[in-house]
Structure 1
Amino acid sequence: MTLEGGMKCVKYLMFVFNFLFWISGIALIVVGILVQTKVNGTLHITSVAASGAPIVIIVVGVIINFVAFFGCCGAWNENYCMVTTFTILLVLIFLVEIAAAIAGYVFKDEIRDAFEKTFNETMTNYNQSANAVNIDNLQKKFKCCGAAGYADWFAQMPGRVPDSCCKNFTHNCGRVTTAAAIYQQGCVALIKEWLKNNIVIVAGVALGIAIFQILGIVFACILMKGIKSGYEVM
């Protein structure tokens, strides 16, 4: 028996949903990579809650891409088993994302504290080449100097700051002649502010993905019912 227009519409909506779902997976991967390279890529943060978050985001994005492809094939082939599996996987991902959001809120202070602690430890061991590269990259990216301010460096290197603190980067420009020539703001406060401002973007992306997932679950359940009833989707 041929399905009526309503069920055909559900099938096509499944395709549209899975395309948007695939885009959302790409968005998660991009967000995860940006966070990883922007902060964790410049400092070796040892806290699992802090360093693991972007990796989890990337992994979820990859899984979403796989599930979207799986759902597309199930809808196209009108395969009840594949559509059912797609629905179950989508529900599980949705529950994991809720758990991750709760964990992110619970551990937000720990993440900020872990970054501040790591930054101060890296400053203390600045003379080690790996630490120097990491902290220099961070100061250049965020246009900041020291943890709370450029004066923090004077305990490590009296009378100067790293060249990465200079507004106009040149060799030995860190020998302080005037405060106006170097970045005034500390990196910890600046990066905390960056994280605070960008959490709105992350929350918006997460909300959009959640809406698509709920719609996908609804469409999949309707399609499952149609296939199980013995209809043939054209």
Structure 2
Amino acid sequence: MGCFGFLKTMMVVFNGIIFLAGAAVLGVGIWVKVDSGSILSFLGKIEGAPEELSQVLNVGYLLIAVGALLLVIGFLGCCGAVKESKCMLLLFFIIVLVVFIAEVAGAVVILVFRPLADELFVKFGTAAVKNIKKDYGSNPDVTGLWNTTMSTLKCCGFYNSSDFVGSPYYKMHSNHYPPQCCPGTGNLCNETLADSSTTITGCFPKIVQLIDENTVVIVGVALGIAVLEICAMAVSLILFCRIKSRRA
């Protein structure tokens, strides 16, 4: 197998993986839009939530768009290499280049508007705490969602256990917090036990902590994707030039 054949094989394998990933992302996007009971639908019903949150609720459409784009890129890359189609390879190169430029622009926008994102999280936190105090213990959907979230992330409330003070659950259970706030103590979880516990971190601080702890991994993955995109553009351009020279 010569260099040209090796590049063709790598192009097919790489874009086959992209095609499958696109199908998975597209499926998740469709599921998010179809599932009326998803967390995104619930977030949109939180009273007092910031208006900017409506943009987050469109993540289903974003996933569908990204999945469809990955399908197109994978298809063009595979077929362009197999059929040695200059048109497909050139179109593949252009699309990947546009995606790469968009990612760089997006990274710059995130860095520039980071303070606005922090402000949005503060607004959402206020709305989330109000939602807990109003509906936790009386609304099955709200209660079930928070219980699942807290059990999964091993956290308590949005900021901490005090978020539950005044909630229907707190009043109905003689001023006790949910058991997730004091693991190992059973259903009796009062202020004293919560204060003495070492695992009552709020869900928001826990998420921030997870992101901070995995920053290196996130940056590494982002750089890896950027390198793969550059390599894909380089390979497609080389194949395009080789095919053009062979047919000249």
TM-score bin (small chain): 0.7 to 0.9
Secondary structure in 1 matching 2:165? helix
Matched, 1:141 2:152: yes
Trace 1:155-170 onto structure 2 (pairs within 5 A).
Answer: 155-156=166-167, 157=170, 159-168=175-184
Deviation at 1:206, TM superposition (A): 1.9
Identify the residue that residue 79 of structure 1 maps to in structure 2. 85
Question: Could you tell me how far apart the structure 1 residues matched to 2:217 and 2:25 are?
Answer: 11
Contact 2:156 2:202 in 1 (8 A): yes
TM-superposed CA distance for 1:68, in Å, is: 1.6
1:185 aligned residue (193, 196, 201): 201
Deviations 1:53-104 (A, max 9, x none): 6864674255224312321111100111111111111112212222333333
- Root-mean-square deviation (CA, aligned residues, Å) is 3.8
Using the TM superposition, name which of 222-231 and 52-61 deviates more: 52-61
For residues 134 and 88 of structure 2, the distance between their equivalents in structure 1, rounded to whole angstroms, comes to 54
2:234 is matched with: 218
Q: Distance in 2 between matches of 1:111 and 1:134?
A: 21
1:124–1:91: structure 2 CA closer, same or farther, 3 Å change rule?
Answer: same
Structure 1 stretches of 5 or more lacking a match?
33-38
1:35 match: none
Equivalent-residue separation in structure 2 for 1:133 and 1:29 (angstroms) = 27
Superposition TM-score, scaled by structure 1 size: 0.73
The letter of the residue matching 1:123 is I
Q: Which has the higher contact order (CA 8 A, sep 6+)?
A: 1
Sort the Cα spacing of 1:168 and 1:123 in 2 relative to 1 into closer, same or farther, 3 A. Answer: same
Q: 1:148 to 1:8 in 2, by over 3 A?
A: closer
Provide the identity percentage.
27
Cα displacement (A) at 1:150: 1.6
> Which residue is equivalent to 1:68?
74
Q: Measure the CA separation in 1 of the matches of 2:63 and 2:91.
A: 22
Question: Is the 1:50–1:110 contact (alpha carbons within 8 Å) kept by the matching residues of 2?
Answer: no
Given that residues 40 and 57 in structure 2 are in contact (C-alpha distance below 8 angstroms), is that contact kept between their aligned partners in structure 1? Answer: no
| Correspondence list, 1:127-138, <5 A | 127-138=138-149
1:137 touches 1:164 (CA, 8 Å); kept in 2? no
CA 1:50 to 1:177, structure 2 compared with 1: closer, same or farther past 3 Å? same
Query: How many matched pairs?
Result: 222
Does structure 1 residue 196 correspond to structure 2 residue 212?
A: yes
**What's the CA shift string for 1:189-217, capped at 9, x where partnerless?**
22221232234333222211111110111
Matched, 1:123 2:139: no
Match of 2:152, SS? helix
Preserved contact between residue 182 and residue 200 of structure 2 (Cα < 8 Å): no
